[in-house]
């Protein structure tokens, strides 16, 4: 049996009934990727595990063109994934994903390269009014009418051999994605919104989106600090945890939980004895291999020059710009319904709060197509040049003439 006939699955129905053999050798992968590279687009999905690691463990990758679909056993001994990575960065082939960020992150980590060009069907669906962050199976059902088999969604993809049910599930994902992509792309073109999705893809394909710099790790924490010394310690302890998690390939929470970082930042223990009094720490942590590291990290934070620290975000007064934000929420919902675009992709609540406080707010809602659709109206409403009223049970906006 030839490599093509072994690995090619002509359509989703065939995939569910035929025995599927995954690609396990570099020679077969080279051949398959060469065939796929001749098409204008391919659909891509990955199966991975990351519950016990910092970096995702890629277990399976599946790709489909208009004529075939393949499953790559990425854990096969001796398999060189370079042909797969080369396909992912080929400028001649559009890579279609659903909720692409984690798939792109995997390629970035393993190959140091970003897939390009890409198309994310979840983003496209939001631009076309399918709702906020619609799931893949819901999107497939709404566009094709098919219901996907979810039984293997939470399977252990690292176990070998892969079952026929797992392989059929993997193939089905990318074959349905072809139909979803074609429908969404046609709708975007008809509505003149293809460029809107293109702007979002620039963000998804920027290396800055995926760099996990330890020095910036504190920014993802929701812990509130009020004093410069607390912020200095938080920055240092978050960076230390990030480096430890990366070096040991452990989830961040396996090193220290987020709430513990906040407690350490506020209490700033400078001795093992004081560290033992941090109640959120596991009992005996001060005697672990990390105990002295934490003390050293706290001392580095306390020694930092306050002038080198970023400004502390002060809690906003409860009623500051509250009425303006509420009006902007109404305008956002009205705009979402009028144009059939998910509100979440137009503006976030944080965007609205910043617009309420600053006309020149540096937020996505004030740039590109979002500004044209919503941002200019938001400023007009804020300054009284636009009024909201209810007509026949619907909110409408009217320019004020006086």
Among 282, 308, 334, identify where a domain stops: 308
Per-residue confidence (pLDDT) for residue 247, from 0 to 100: 96
User: How far is residue 278's CA from residue 282's CA, in Å, rounded to a whole number?
Assistant: 9
At 173-201, the pLDDT tens digits run 999 999 999 999 999 999 999 999 998 99
* DSSP-derived 3-state class of residue 73: strand
Is 337 part of any domain? Answer: yes
Torsion of CA 335, 336, 340, 345, to 10 degrees: 120
Is 292 part of any domain? Answer: yes
Burial label for 151, CB within 10 Å (0-12, 13-18, 19+), is: exposed
- Statement to judge: residues 8 and 97 lie in one domain: yes
Per-residue confidence (pLDDT) for residue 244, from 0 to 100: 97
Give the DSSP H/E element, type plus range, for residue 389.
strand 386-391
123 bridge partner residues: none
Tokens of 261: 């970082």
Percent of the chain scoring above 90 in pLDDT: 81
Is 39 part of any domain? Answer: yes
Per-residue confidence (pLDDT) for residue 316, from 0 to 100: 56
User: How far is residue 169's CA from residue 71's CA, in Å, rounded to a whole number?
Assistant: 10
Per-residue confidence (pLDDT) for residue 231, from 0 to 100: 96
Per-residue confidence (pLDDT) for residue 14, from 0 to 100: 42
At 311-349, the pLDDT tens digits run 887 655 545 578 899 999 999 999 999 999 999 999 999
**Confidence at 9, pLDDT banded by 50, 70, 90:** very low
Structural domain of residue 68, as residue ranges? Answer: 3-209
394 bridge partner residues: 391
Among 308, 337, 358, identify where a domain stops: 308
User: How far is residue 28's CA from residue 79's CA, in Å, rounded to a whole number?
Assistant: 10
Helix axes 258-267, 228-248, angle to 10 degrees: 140
Give the position of tokens 């001392």. 299
- Statement to judge: residues 55 and 193 lie in one domain: yes
Residue 126, domain CATH: 3.30.420.10
- Statement to judge: residues 153 and 243 lie in one domain: no
User: How far is residue 369's CA from residue 136's CA, in Å, rounded to a whole number?
Assistant: 25
pLDDT > 50? residue 291: yes
Per-residue confidence (pLDDT) for residue 68, from 0 to 100: 96
User: How far is residue 389's CA from residue 402's CA, in Å, rounded to a whole number?
Assistant: 16
Per-residue confidence (pLDDT) for residue 304, from 0 to 100: 96
Give the DSSP H/E element, type plus range, for residue 191.
helix 164-191
Pairing of strands 69-73, 94-97: unpaired
Report how far apart, in Å, the C-alpha atoms of 151 and of each of 135, 154, 272 are. Answer: 16, 8, 49
- Statement to judge: residues 203 and 219 lie in one domain: no
**Confidence at 19, pLDDT banded by 50, 70, 90:** low
Report the mean per-residue pLDDT for the chain: 91
Is 316 part of any domain? Answer: no
| Domain count for the chain | 3
Is 147 part of any domain? Answer: yes
Residue 340, domain CATH: 1.10.150
Give the up-direction half-sphere exposure of residue 30: CA atoms within 13 A in the CB hemisphere: 5
At 92-144, the pLDDT tens digits run 999 999 999 999 999 999 999 999 999 999 999 999 999 888 999 999 999 99
Cis peptide before 161 (omega within 30 of 0): yes
Is 239 part of any domain? Answer: yes
Is 372 part of any domain? Answer: yes
User: The pTM is what?
Assistant: 0.86
Residue 253, domain CATH: 1.10.150.80
* DSSP-derived 3-state class of residue 68: coil
Tokens of 308: 């080198």
- Statement to judge: residues 203 and 255 lie in one domain: no
DSSP secondary structure of 211-228: ---GGGGGGG------SH
- Statement to judge: residues 88 and 235 lie in one domain: no
Is 362 part of any domain? Answer: yes
Q: How many CB atoms lie within 10 A of CB 309?
A: 15
Among 248, 276, 308, identify where a domain stops: 308
* DSSP-derived 3-state class of residue 107: helix
- Statement to judge: residues 168 and 287 lie in one domain: no
User: How far is residue 28's CA from residue 266's CA, in Å, rounded to a whole number?
Assistant: 56
Percent of the chain scoring above 70 in pLDDT: 93
- Statement to judge: residues 266 and 344 lie in one domain: no
Mean pLDDT of 363-389: 94
Q: What is the 3-state secondary structure (H, E, C) of 348-360?
A: CHHHHHHHHHCCC
Per-residue confidence (pLDDT) for residue 399, from 0 to 100: 86
Give the DSSP H/E element, type plus range, for residue 46.
strand 41-49
- Statement to judge: residues 369 and 260 lie in one domain: no
Out of 55-64, 273-282, 314-323, pick the least confident: 314-323
Q: How many CB atoms lie within 10 A of CB 23?
A: 26
- Statement to judge: residues 96 and 177 lie in one domain: yes
Quick one: which of 86, 84, 96 has its CA closest to 25?
Answer: 84
**Confidence at 259, pLDDT banded by 50, 70, 90:** very high
Sequence-separated (6 or more) residues with CB below 8 Å from residue 176 = 12, 140, 144, 146, 148
User: How far is residue 74's CA from residue 157's CA, in Å, rounded to a whole number?
Assistant: 10
Quick one: which of 116, 94, 106 has its CA closest to 178?
Answer: 94
Quick one: which of 319, 267, 320 has its CA closest to 294?
Answer: 267
- Statement to judge: residues 26 and 111 lie in one domain: yes
- Statement to judge: residues 203 and 220 lie in one domain: no
End-to-end alpha-carbon separation of the chain, Å? 79
């Amino acid at each position: 049996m030839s490599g093509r006939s072994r690995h090619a699955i002509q359509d989703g129905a065939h995939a569910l009934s035929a025995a599927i053999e995954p690609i396990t050798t570099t020679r077969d992968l080279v051949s398959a990727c060469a065939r796929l590279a001749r098409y204008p687009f391919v659909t891509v999905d990955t199966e991975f595990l990351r519950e016990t690691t910092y970096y995702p463990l890629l277990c399976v990758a599946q790709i489909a063109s208009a004529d075939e679909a393949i499953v790559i056993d990425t854990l096969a001994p001796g398999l060189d994934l370079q042909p797969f990575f080369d396909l992912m960065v080929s400028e001649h082939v559009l890579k279609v994903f659903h909720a692409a960020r984690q798939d792109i992150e995997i390629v970035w980590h393993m190959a140091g390269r970003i897939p390009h060009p890409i198309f994310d069907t979840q983003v496209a669906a939001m631009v076309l009014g399918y709702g906020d962050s619609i799931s893949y199976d819901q999107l497939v059902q709404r566009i094709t009418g098919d219901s996907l088999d979810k039984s293997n969604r939470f399977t252990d993809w690292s176990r070998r051999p892969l079952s026929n049910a797992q392989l059929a599930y993997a193939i089905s994902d990318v074959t349905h994605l072809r139909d979803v992509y074609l429908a969404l792309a046609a709708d975007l073109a008809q509505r003149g919104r293809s460029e809107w999705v293109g702007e979002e893809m620039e963000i998804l394909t920027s290396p800055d989106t995926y760099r996990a710099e330890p020095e910036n790790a504190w920014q993802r924490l929701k812990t509130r600090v009020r004093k410069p010394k607390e912020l200095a310690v938080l920055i240092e302890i978050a960076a230390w945890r990030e480096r430890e998690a990366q070096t040991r390939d452990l989830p961040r929470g396996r090193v220290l939980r987020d709430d513990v970082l906040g407690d350490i930042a506020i209490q700033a223990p400078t001795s093992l004895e004081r560290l033992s009094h941090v109640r959120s720490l596991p009992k005996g942590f001060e005697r672990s291999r990390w105990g002295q590291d934490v003390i050293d990290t706290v001392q580095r934070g306390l020694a930092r020059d306050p002038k080198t620290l970023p400004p502390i975000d002060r809690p906003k007064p409860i009623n500051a710009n509250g009425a303006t934000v509420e009006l902007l929420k109404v305008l956002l919902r009205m705009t979402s319904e009028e144009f059939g675009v998910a509100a979440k992709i137009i503006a976030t609540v944080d965007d609205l709060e910043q617009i309420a406080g600053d006309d020149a707010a540096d937020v996505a809602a004030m740039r590109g197509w979002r500004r044209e659709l919503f941002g200019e109206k938001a400023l007009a409403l804020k300054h009284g040049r636009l009024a909201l009223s209810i007509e026949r049970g619907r909110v409408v906006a009217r320019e004020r003439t006086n």
